[in-house]
Amino acid sequence: MVGDSGNLAAPPGSQPWAIAVRLQIQSLLKDNASSIKHLRTWLRGIEEYAGYRQLMDESGQPFSSYAAFCNAKPPWGLGYPPEVIDQILNELESVQAEQIEGEEKQPNSWGDLKGYLQRFSKLVKSCAENDPINVDKIAEVLDTVPRNAYRWRKRWLHLGWIEPLTDTENGYYRITQEGRKLVQDWLTKAPKSNKNDKLWLTIPVCNSKKAAEQLIQSLEVEQLRELYNLIGESLNQPPNEIQNCND
């Protein structure tokens, strides 16, 4: 079993899934540049679905608890107590936040307020009053990567739309009454979007990966889906009907 790679596509809680998730967690814990979002997701999953019960310890016995799985040395377990794993996650999150904040531009160059309200309104609609929110929640609601979620968190905090929670651990916030009222007023007064509005993007035409990353950061999910469908339709046309991009 130790040499088995498992299967992430297997049903959650099954043995192949648990084996694959263990490998993911072990790998991410060793990588200081790992995605905090993914690491938290796998840890939460293997505990929630009791995947550790499908894994054997050094003696060939199933783990009796999540803590036992965490404490067991690799390759059987994670090699850290649960509280140390939480500390590692918090430290990685802090380092990542500091790196991103160091790259941030001045607030007056952050762009159009309309874009802030469009994204912030999604968060308001997804959270009840006084619900605690963190970077993971923002990333989930905006369907974006943690790096972008950190940036939106910082900007909304600067604008006073969110505020830190003092009665919970660091990294948790709540939407302010000012933020909720601003969104409500904006949704009431905002005109319907004009489909003829032009979008200008500078993307590297010779680097498809960079181009895709730029589009993901700049467009809403609905726009990306529409673009995906349009590209798919164009590729299904006969070759002589598709204009060569080098023309």
**Cross-strand partners of 62:** 56
**Cross-strand partners of 173:** 133, 164
Query: Domain limits of the chain?
Result: 15-92, 104-189, 194-247
pLDDT at 244 over 50: no
Cα-Cα end-to-end distance for the chain = 55
pLDDT at 109 over 80: no
Query: Distance between CA 55 and CA 65 in Å, rounded?
Result: 11
Query: Distance between CA 101 and CA 185 in Å, rounded?
Result: 30
pLDDT at 216 over 70: yes
Lowest-pLDDT choice from 7-11, 22-26, 64-68, 101-105:
101-105
Q: Identify the three-state secondary structure at position 62.
A: strand
Helix, strand and coil in the chain, % to nearest 5:
55, 5, 40
Q: How far is CA 142 from the centre of its chain?
A: 8
**Confidence band, pLDDT 50/70/90 cuts, at residue 106:** very low
Instruction: Show Cβ contacts of residue 102 under 8 Å, excluding neighbours closer than 6 positions.
Output: none
Query: Distance between CA 8 and CA 16 in Å, rounded?
Result: 7
Judge whether 219 and 227 are in contact, CB under 8 Å. Answer: yes
State the DSSP string of 118-155: HHHHHHHHHS-TT--B-HHHHHHHHT--HHHHHHHHHH
Query: Distance between CA 117 and CA 167 in Å, rounded?
Result: 27
Nearest to 94 by CA among 137, 42, 32, 38: 32
Which pLDDT value is given to residue 81? 94
Structure token digits, residue 141: 């609601």
Instruction: Show Cβ contacts of residue 12 under 8 Å, excluding neighbours closer than 6 positions.
Output: 45, 49, 51
Lowest-pLDDT choice from 18-27, 64-73, 108-117, 123-132:
108-117
pLDDT (tens digit, 9 = 90+) per residue, 3-43?
A: 678 888 889 999 999 999 999 888 887 765 556 777 888 99
Of 200 and 95, the structure prediction assigns the larger pLDDT to: 95
CATH code reported for the domain at 104-189: 1.10.10.10
Cis ω before 11 (30° cut-off from 0): no
Question: What's the pTM value of the predicted model, to 2 decimals?
Answer: 0.42
